[in-house]
Structure 1
Amino acid sequence: MTDQPSAATAAIAAYWDAAADRFDEEPDHGLRAAETRAAWRRRLRSWLPSAPADVLDVGCGTGSLGLLMAEAGHRVTGVDLAPGMIRRAREKFQAADRGGRFLVGDAAAPPTGAARFDVLVARHLVWTLPDPRAALVAWLGRLRPGGRLVLVEGRWREAGQAGVPYVAGAESLPWAGGIAAAELSAVLRPSVARVSVEPLSGDPALWGGPVADERYALVALTASAARG
């Protein structure tokens, strides 16, 4: 097994790296509008523990969600394949005078060693992964007993960032275009104690305007978290 990235992984990293400087122009990426930021803050409050928690944000992008979680008192580690995204995330945290740890690496296999987390968050990520089912198993393995997996996903078209087409061969990815809530729930249910799904398409404040496709949050709890 080689430590060198595959050609596909390198192409994906290059794509998102090129998108980093304009990534926050999308309302739900940069969270620049007060209404959008407040909408995501409310949702995160309902999905995450009330007490300060160790959160692993995989595919963290420019760190917008991570910053909201840090502002809520959580300890955030972000991982992204694109160095440009990680650079922007670090800058964003520094500007806000918030602590956070950011690592360049494959979100499907985060380079966090033996560390375990209370929460793992991924947003709009699984459709980009060559083996999303293996990634889900790996992510669950990064959680402490009683942890939770928070996935913000949906079914959408593969839109390029800043007009740049996505990498060649993306149409052959297992979950290209996203995955429906019912299907993702079915994949996770045998491995966790409880799965809940919250529809998000009907909240335009999250997206900077109305959306017509399926968007949702899936929260999976481990056995100890589900008892009591």
Structure 2
Amino acid sequence: MYDETDSSRTKTLDWKKRFNIIEGIVQGLLYLHKYSRLRVIHRDLKASNILLDDQMNPKISDFGMARTFAMNELEANTNRIVGTHGYMSPEYVMNGIVSMKSDVYSFGVLVLEIISGKKNNGCYDTQRPLNLVGYAWQLWNEGKGLELIDPSLDESCSPEEVIRCIHVGLLCVQDKAMDRPTMWDVVSMLSNDTMALPTPKQPAFFINISSDYQEPEVTEIKLEICSVNDVTISGMEGR
């Protein structure tokens, strides 16, 4: 398991590798949502459910809470809310509505965590108990998006590419599900740097409800050497 206090390990996750991880997760979700025989909604996408092989290729894991849809189904109501606080979409938490856009929201949170090296359920404002999503939105509106970047990435990242990823992340965590892009849209947004992106609307961010609440850090993405028999959803090569 990765430990951000180990500086030698932190340096292995430079921007190129983090971008590759983001793209790999996109490809995994695109397969689950579009190309799988049955549409699969993961419902618990978070840092600790992303495994990395020895080449730092990501694999989405732990499908214990997943729900399958027929290809003509777009959403469903459920009386049992399962998932991890901070990664669940507002319509799912409040009304039990689960859809592909639920995973899109979780992906957006994960993108912001990968960029910042911080967990969503921390507190990032001295005046208000903003979580990472709220903090990212605040910085974005102040024109200070680059301040979200993990300091260890200063020398390895492309500012334009990072800002684009933050932009995509904020589009994915918008309050209304209908405003969020599909994973197919996200593929286009990340692969075409000349594509104009819509302006993100206010996200569904939540205040940090408890200073005692513990959630896995993004740097706790599990580093696992996968056997040749494992089915791994790998990412595209970073540009």
**TM category, shorter:** under 0.3
Tell me the TM-score normalized by structure 2. Answer: 0.27
TM-score after normalising by structure 1: 0.27
Which has a greater percent of strand? 1
Greater RCO, CA 8 A, separation 6+: 2
